[in-house]
Amino acid sequence: MTRPTPSTYRVKSFGCQMNVYDGERMAEMLAARGLTAAAEGEDADLVVLNTCHIREKASEKVYSEVGRLRREDGSRPLVAVAGCVAQAEGEEIRRRTRDVDIVVGPQAYHRLPGLIDTAVAGGHAVDTDMPADSKFGALPGRARRAAPSAFLTVQEGCDKFCTYCVVPYTRGAEVSRPWGQIMDEARALVDAGAREITLLGQNVNAWAHDGRYLHDLIEAMAGLSGLARIRYTTSHPNDMHDGLIAAHRDIDKLMPFLHLPVQSGSDRILKAMNRSHDADSYLRLIDRVRAARPDIAISGDYIVGFPGETDADFDATLKVVERIGHAQAFSFKYSPRPGTPAATMDGQVEAQVMDERLKRLQALIGQQQHAFNLASVGRDTTVLLERAGRHPGQLIGKSPWLQSVVVEQGAIGDLVDVRISAAGPNSLSGVIAQKEAA
């Protein structure tokens, strides 16, 4: 069956920041091909569901989303499933639902335009290749306008094979993009209005190219005059080298924030997770980072209820969290993922136990986050304004420590001097500093 050629599109991203970045690149590619973005709330001829496979709940979402795309008259848009579910399930998606026309994996989405042509002609449009040539060289240049805070993927894939995780299978092996290509893209983003760039990778601190490392890249990027702030995420403890730690001391534009997942505080569980670090080495690493940059905000990821996790193991996690003192952190119930070693391990933890552990962990992290926010009150700092607030005239931006700050003046894209006036559990209020007369 042939279908009409789409002229409007919408891309919906459900996953991590890298998945959001991929969504932006797909949107730019469709725009470069002459399609226009469907307005908010309006029907699109082509919908790209850019999916995430990390936990079961995220992964199943795609099917309810597909169902929701059916219109009242029974018709539906051209539907593409992209992202990590596409990679993991491939053909299976089209067996489960006939309402998907295109399946395209995270390393093949530069071929989306061709797949659209194939689908329109009624052909077979499934592409989950991991081609040797990286997609990046085949993508069009970045859009002419960028948000104040922009993402830039520098590293893809993962070779770590934590026993619970699908990423090494959905994203493939660790690959670093070349230096020149990244710097060109950074310049394009700054020219397009970005004031902050977040360098992305599943293991971003493993980035290396021609004998240069992530801190070299950050240093070079700090030389771009229009760029005010640099961040990077997500890092792995085993790739957190001295040069990067020193960069937190030496490079002003590098923001004092580190997302460094430890996952568990129990060495026994860390071993079963194949994390190849223990709790103590992680804590010593945090101490070294704090010695270099005392005010650094530490974020992390935790999994509760990994197979075999006992009360004592969980207590060890709480202890580690107490030792760290997070500015924020993410925590998840363990979700068994098809094809991963942990899914078939003995000692799967009951849902009720997981719920209870997650609640306790989140309460502790929440307290720490609130305490971190309260400690910011009275500080003079900078805020990059990123979006409109709830009330007229209000704007929301980010502090250097990635806290959301609400201010009453300014324009999106401004980097303003602010005194923090109040703190809640999830955000701060700030007053714009009056500029002294020149």
Helices (H), 275-327: 279-292, 311-324
Give the list of residues 6+ apart from residue 8 with CB closer than 8 angstroms, or none: 35, 36, 37, 38, 42, 43, 44, 45, 46
> For ligand SAH, which stretch binds (CB under 6 A), given 1-9, 139-147, 312-320, 331-339?
331-339
Q: Kindly tell me which of 165 and 384 has the beta carbon lying closer to ligand SAH.
A: 165
Strands 212-213, 102-104: parallel, antiparallel or unpaired by DSSP?
A: unpaired
CB 269 within 8 A of CB 310: no
Instruction: Out of 87, 202, 335, 368, point to the residue binding ligand SF4 (CB under 6 A).
Output: 202
Q: Which does 161 bind (CB under 5 to 8 A by kind): ligand F3S, ligand SF4, ligand SAH, none?
A: ligand SF4
> For ligand F3S, which stretch binds (CB under 6 A), given 46-54, 141-149, 205-213, 218-226?
46-54
CB 259 within 8 A of CB 223: no
84 annotated ligand binder: yes
Instruction: Out of 9, 151, 282, 334, point to the residue binding ligand SAH (CB under 6 A).
Output: 334
Q: Kindly tell me which of 116 and 244 has the beta carbon lying closer to ligand SAH.
A: 244
Nearest distance, CB of residue 265 and ligand SF4, angstroms: 16
d(CA 231, CA 289): 15
Q: Kindly tell me which of 123 and 161 has the beta carbon lying closer to ligand SF4.
A: 161
Q: Which residue's entry shows tokens 């489960």?
A: 96
Give the list of residues 6+ apart from residue 427 with CB closer than 8 angstroms, or none: 373, 396, 403, 404, 405, 406
Phi, psi of 58 (to 5 degrees): -65, -40
d(CA 384, CA 367): 25
Residue numbers 221-260 binding ligand SF4 by CB under 6 A:
236
**Three-state DSSP state, 49:** strand
Q: Kindly tell me which of 109 and 401 has the beta carbon lying closer to ligand F3S.
A: 109
Does 105 sit near ligand F3S (CB under 6 A)?
no
Give the list of residues 6+ apart from residue 165 with CB closer than 8 angstroms, or none: 54, 158, 337, 340
Q: Which does 157 bind (CB under 5 to 8 A by kind): ligand F3S, ligand SF4, ligand SAH, none?
A: none
> For ligand F3S, which stretch binds (CB under 6 A), given 47-55, 95-103, 178-186, 224-232?
47-55
Q: Closest Cα to residue 90, out of 74, 75, 107?
A: 107
Residue numbers 195-254 binding ligand F3S by CB under 6 A:
none
Q: Kindly tell me which of 127 and 239 has the beta carbon lying closer to ligand SF4.
A: 239
CB 45 within 8 A of CB 116: no
162 annotated ligand binder: yes
Instruction: Out of 167, 258, 286, 324, point to the residue binding ligand SF4 (CB under 6 A).
Output: 167
Q: Which residues are annotated as part of the binding site?
A: 16, 52, 84, 158, 162, 165
Instruction: Point out which residues bind ligand F3S (CB under 6 A).
Output: 15-16, 18-19, 52-54, 83-84, 166-167, 170-171
Instruction: Point out which residues bind ligand SF4 (CB under 6 A).
Output: 158, 160-162, 165, 167-168, 202-203, 236
